[in-house]
Amino acid sequence: MAALNRIQKIASHLDPPKPHKFKVAVLGAAGGIGQPLSMLLKMSPYISELSLYDVMNTPGVAADVSHMSTAARVKGYLGADQLPAALAGANLVIIPAGVPRKPGMTRDDLFNINAGIVRTLAEGVAAHCPTAWVAIISNPVNSTVPIFAEVLQRAGVLDPKRLFGVTTLDVVRAEAFISEIVGADPRDVSVPVVGGHAGVTILPLLSQARPSLPASMTAEQRKALMTRIQDAGTEVVQAKAGAGSATLSMAYAAARFADSCLRAMGGEGAVAEYAYVRSSAVEGLPYFSSPLRLGRAGVEDILPLGPMDAMESENFEAMKAELLGSIRKGEEFVAKGPAAAAAAK
Ligand SMILES: NC(=O)c1ccc[n+]([C@@H]2O[C@H](COP(=O)([O-])OP(=O)(O)OC[C@H]3O[C@@H](n4cnc5c(N)ncnc54)[C@H](O)[C@@H]3O)[C@@H](O)[C@H]2O)c1
Ligand SMILES: O=C(O)C[C@H](O)C(=O)O
């Protein structure tokens, strides 16, 4: 027996450390983003339970994803009555619920429908998993994050360190486009993208890209690259010609962001990310996407934006009014109360 104990003890030292495992809820799981995101999350070693919630089609999506031979247990939840059970005990809630753009629309054109959806889901989180980390994908992100924060604040459960607008797709796009230009593996490219998530509020700091952009690139070429990153969502909306907006690249980006959150939550040390959070990084803008350091409790540090060249500084100044307008619009929507939510339905 003593020998067996000794062998077991040695074997336990040889075992690689097991990752912490968490319950993750996807709200809007049957949608264009929700389905591939659920599939990618089912492959995560950090997830013990995957809770798939939507107002339609979740039984089929959950049955399908549950047949993947990976460890996470999958449960589907359908309709508002089942939202409490979907959220109970969740550590991370990811929200791609809401309508996407069609050609000719701005993200802000989605406000009237998506503001009410996000508000309802925020009330659910406040009531059923108030300490969960929340990652909001639903557009317009520049307004939906302030809406969510206001609801949590009114319920007395807001911790801004755990509330994120997902801007990872902007970073992913910048990495992809730069890798094509410099001829590097995208995994070896790093580039900060800061600000918000709509048009001019998306600010890629190309001067900080690594590897650096070729010195031979003209100012016009750098400007065109910045504009391509800012308009990449519209590029997809136009290519899909009425069938929605980015879903597959967004699912990839959200799965990557979820992975960072779960690693930080599990205590794997400081994890570097970008996200749109409540912030005092930029005077006069209460929400801003910055480089972040994530730890067990959420945002541990909001890091400086670093140096900007003249083109970036000009864009930085130009975004401020639009971003503040979107933030105030979200805050006012909640301040006006349920009447505004009803009008938006
Ligand atoms: N942050 C980003 O970078 C980014 C990128 C792409 C898309 N988006 C946004 O993500 C959202 C979803 O896009 P999509 O292409 O998946 O749309 P979609 O229409 O394909 O899917 C949305 C899903 O949300 C569900 N839904 C609607 N109301 C709901 C509610 N009250 N509770 C739960 N689920 C509800 C729908 O039933 C649907 O299954 C859009 O607002 C889009 O603009 C954001
Ligand atoms: O562009 C959109 O409407 C969806 C999303 O915000 C994106 O950037 O792809």
**pLDDT over 60 at 289, yes or no:** yes
Pairing of strands 202-204, 285-295: unpaired
**pLDDT over 50 at 336, yes or no:** yes
**pLDDT over 80 at 335, yes or no:** yes
Quickly state the pLDDT bin for 343 (edges 50, 70, 90): low
Query: 181 with 214: CB under 8 angstroms?
Result: yes
User: Any residues with Cβ below 6 Å from ligand 2, and which?
Assistant: 100-101, 107, 139, 169, 233-234, 236-237, 245-246
Instruction: Name the residue with the closest Cα to ligand 2, atom 9.
Output: 233
The answer to whether 138 is a known ligand-binding residue is yes
Helix, strand or coil for residue 285?
A: strand
- Mutation test of ligand 2: which of 33, 229, 236 has the most ligand atoms closer than 8 Å to its C-beta? 236
Q: From the CA of 234, which ligand is nearest?
A: 2
Q: What is the mean predicted confidence (pLDDT) over 29-42?
A: 98
Q: What is the pTM of this model?
A: 0.95
Q: What is the mean predicted confidence (pLDDT) over 126-154?
A: 98
Q: What is the mean predicted confidence (pLDDT) over 148-166?
A: 98
Instruction: Name the residue with the closest Cα to ligand 2, atom 1.
Output: 233
Report CA(106)–ligand 2 centroid distance (Å).
Answer: 9
**pLDDT over 90 at 126, yes or no:** yes
Q: What is the mean predicted confidence (pLDDT) over 166-173?
A: 98
Out of 6-10, 220-224, 268-272, 333-337, which region has the weakest mean confidence (pLDDT)?
Answer: 6-10
Helix, strand or coil for residue 299?
A: strand
Report CA(245)–ligand 1 centroid distance (Å).
Answer: 10
Q: How far is CA 40 from CA 29, 68, 88, 165, 216, in A?
A: 12, 10, 22, 19, 39
Q: Which pLDDT belongs to residue 337? A: 86
Name the percent of the chain lying above pLDDT 90.
Answer: 91
Q: Which pLDDT belongs to residue 20? A: 85
**pLDDT over 90 at 43, yes or no:** yes
Report CA(50)–ligand 1 centroid distance (Å).
Answer: 18
What are the tokens at 145?
């994050």
Active-site residue identified among 13, 20, 67, 197? 197
Q: What's the full length of the chain, in residues?
A: 345
The whole-angstrom separation of Cα 201 and Cα 317 is 10
The answer to whether 250 is a known ligand-binding residue is yes
The answer to whether 137 is a known ligand-binding residue is yes
The whole-angstrom separation of Cα 248 and Cα 227 is 22
Pairing of strands 92-95, 22-27: parallel
Q: What is the mean predicted confidence (pLDDT) over 117-141?
A: 98
Q: Is 28 in the pocket of ligand 1 (CB under 6 A)?
A: yes
Residue owning tokens 């911790």: 159
Per the annotation, the verdict on 197 as an active-site residue is yes
Q: Which pLDDT belongs to residue 1? A: 42
**pLDDT over 60 at 240, yes or no:** yes
**pLDDT over 80 at 133, yes or no:** yes
The whole-angstrom separation of Cα 89 and Cα 84 is 10
| ipTM (interface pTM) | 0.99
| pLDDT, averaged across the chain | 94
Q: Which atom of ligand 2 lies at the shortest distance from residue 107's CA?
A: 3
The answer to whether 231 is a known ligand-binding residue is no
Q: Which atom of ligand 1 lies at the shortest distance from residue 101's CA?
A: 43
